[in-house]
């Protein structure tokens, strides 16, 4: 089994991938577009590096036995060039950790991290996943703690004809038991001082009331999705107010990375990164079943200036060879 760690890098200056399209709210396009563009950029960057190395090789032995552009004969940059095997995981693309960190003192930032547990991952792995995901974010931002960690559980949404109905539908979604069972691991991160506040996403009034009864460290934030109508159902407003939980807006979908999307991103197709083997041609590449495990989104905002300095995603997938 191989673990893959995908990353977008800092996407705030990422151009089109961060731009909203009309009707495009609540989507995973930002994630998929920025992964795709980071893969492409890394392939170009490292191909250029490889090219530079080739040139020096030519100068040394003069045999000129290279393809001259750092590209594999398939026309793609070889995976070994732009990805890296490190500490038991394949980093796609490879990450130069020496560039990690924020520009100013950590105290200047509001850092929000949102962890998406995915339906394609085993519930038993969540404690490990949370630790791993948060660890990557802390490393990437060069900080020791974050202000807010929001948990997004699979199979939940806050949709329907206006928020009234959303609240009603929401009550039956997700899996109360699994969510409650996951929470102690998240509370641990808080107790270890890695996370100042905890949050959840897409909890309607009924689910939230049930959830609060089962937890020790209570969430201070509940992210909900609002459409054009700004009517938050009164029961949820009331409950949140009583419990001191802030209702924040988000526009992510919970099932943010599906198996199919991931295969397309990494696959041999024209919009893929060419990391997976092409079953048609039987060419090189990774083979096997690819299951998304989790996605984490992080945002570092300079607190008293409202400037987003760093935003990005990591995603983890497991490849089980057949």
Partner 1 sequence: MGLLALGTALDWPEAKKQAHLVRSWGIKQLLEIWNKAKGKERDAMLWGDEVEYLVVTYSEQDPKVLLSLRQADILTALANDTSLLAKGGCVPELQHIHRNGEPLPVFHPEFGRFMLEATPGKPWGIEFKELLNVEPNMKLRRCIAKDHMLPNEHPITLTTFPRLGSPGVFTEPAYPISGPKLRSQFVPDEIANPHIRFPTLAANIRSRRGRKVQVNVPVFRDENTPWPWKDPTVNYDLHQWPEDDDVRNGAAPDNFIHMDAMAFGMGSCCLQITFQAKNITEGRQMYDQLSPLGPVLLALTAATPIYKGFLADTDVRWNQISKAVDDRTPEELGEKNDRWRIPKSRYASNSTYISTDARLRPEYFDPDLVIDEDIKQQLLDGGMDDRLATHFAHLFIRDPIVIFNEDLQELDLSKTDHFENIQSTNWQHMRFKPPPADNSIGWRVEFRPMEIQITDFENAALSVFMVLITRVILSYNLNFYIPILRVDENMETAHARDAVLERKFWFRKNLFPTSRPSRSSAGGSGSSTPRSAHASRPATPIGPVEDEYRLMTVNEIINGTAYACPEGANNDSTSDSGEDFPGLIPLVESYLDSVNVDVVTRCELGTYLDLIRKRASGELWTAAKWIREFVKSHPKYQGDSVVSEEIEKDLVGAVIKVGEREQQGKGFRGLECEGVKDLGKLMGKFRA
Q: How far is the CB of 294 from partner 1 (least distance, A)?
A: 20
Peptide bond into 144 cis (omega under 30): no
Q: How far is the CB of 10 from partner 1 (least distance, A)?
A: 5
Q: Are 225 and 157 in contact (CB under 8 A)?
A: yes
36 is a site residue for partner 1 (CB under 8 A): yes
When the beta carbons of 142 and 184 are compared against partner 1, the nearer one is 142
Q: What are phi and psi of 29, to 5 degrees?
A: -65, -35
Work out which of 2, 3, 41, 135 binds partner 1, going by CB under 8 A: 41
Tell me, by CB under 8 A, how many residues bind partner 1. 70
C-alpha closest to that of 116 among 53, 199, 57, 196: 199
Burial class of residue 15 in the structure, from the number of CB atoms within 10 Å of its CB (0-12 exposed, 13-18 middle, 19+ buried):
exposed
37 is a site residue for partner 1 (CB under 8 A): yes
Tokens 């339906």, residue located: 119
Q: Compute how many other C-beta atoms are within 10 angstroms of the C-beta atom of residue 108.
A: 15
Under rule CB under 8 A, which residues in 259-318 are in contact with partner 1?
A: 299, 301-302, 304-312
Under rule CB under 8 A, which residues in 191-230 are in contact with partner 1?
A: 221, 224, 226, 230
Work out which of 67, 80, 85, 103 binds partner 1, going by CB under 8 A: 103
Q: Are 254 and 119 in contact (CB under 8 A)?
A: no
Q: What are phi and psi of 313, to 5 degrees?
A: -135, 150
Q: How far is the CB of 218 from partner 1 (least distance, A)?
A: 17
- Binding residues for partner 1 (CB under 8 A): 7-10, 12-22, 24-25, 29, 33, 36-38, 41-42, 44-46, 48-49, 52, 93, 95-97, 99-104, 108, 110, 112, 140-142, 148, 221, 224, 226, 230, 232, 246-251, 299, 301-302, 304-312
């Amino acid at each position: 089994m191989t673990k893959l760690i995908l990353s977008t890098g800092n996407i705030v200056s990422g151009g089109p991938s961060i731009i909203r399209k009309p009707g495009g709210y609540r989507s995973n396009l930002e994630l998929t577009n920025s992964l795709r563009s980071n893969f492409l950029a890394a392939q170009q960057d490292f191909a250029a590096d490889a090219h530079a190395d080739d040139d020096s090789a030519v100068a040394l032995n003069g045999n000129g036995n290279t393809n001259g552009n750092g590209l594999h004969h398939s026309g793609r940059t070889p995976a070994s060039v732009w990805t890296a095997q490190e500490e038991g995981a394949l980093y796609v693309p490879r990450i130069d950790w020496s560039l990690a960190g924020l520009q100013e003192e950590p105290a200047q930032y509001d850092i929000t991290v949102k962890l998406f547990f995915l339906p394609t991952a085993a519930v038993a792995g969540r404690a490990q996943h949370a630790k791993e995901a948060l660890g990557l974010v802390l490393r990437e931002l060069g900080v020791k703690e974050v202000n807010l960690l929001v948990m997004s559980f699979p199979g939940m949404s806050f949709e329907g004809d206006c928020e009234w109905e959303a609240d009603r539908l929401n009550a039956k979604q997700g899996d109360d038991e699994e969510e409650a069972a996951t929470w102690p691991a998240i509370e641990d991160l808080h107790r270890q001082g890695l996370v100042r506040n905890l949050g959840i996403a897409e909890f309607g009034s009924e689910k939230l009331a049930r959830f609060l009864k089962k937890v020790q460290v209570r969430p201070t934030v509940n992210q909900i999705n609002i459409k054009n109508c700004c009517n938050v159902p009164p029961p949820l407003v009331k409950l949140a107010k009583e419990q001191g939980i802030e209702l924040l807006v988000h526009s992510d979908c919970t099932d943010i990375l599906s198996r199919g999307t991931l295969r397309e991103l990494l696959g041999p197709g024209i919009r893929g990164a060419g990391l997976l083997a092409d079953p048609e041609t039987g060419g090189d590449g990774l083979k096997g079943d690819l299951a998304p495990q989790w996605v984490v989104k992080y945002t570092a905002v300079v607190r008293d200036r409202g400037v987003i300095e760093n935003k990005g995603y990591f995603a983890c997938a497991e490849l089980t060879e057949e």
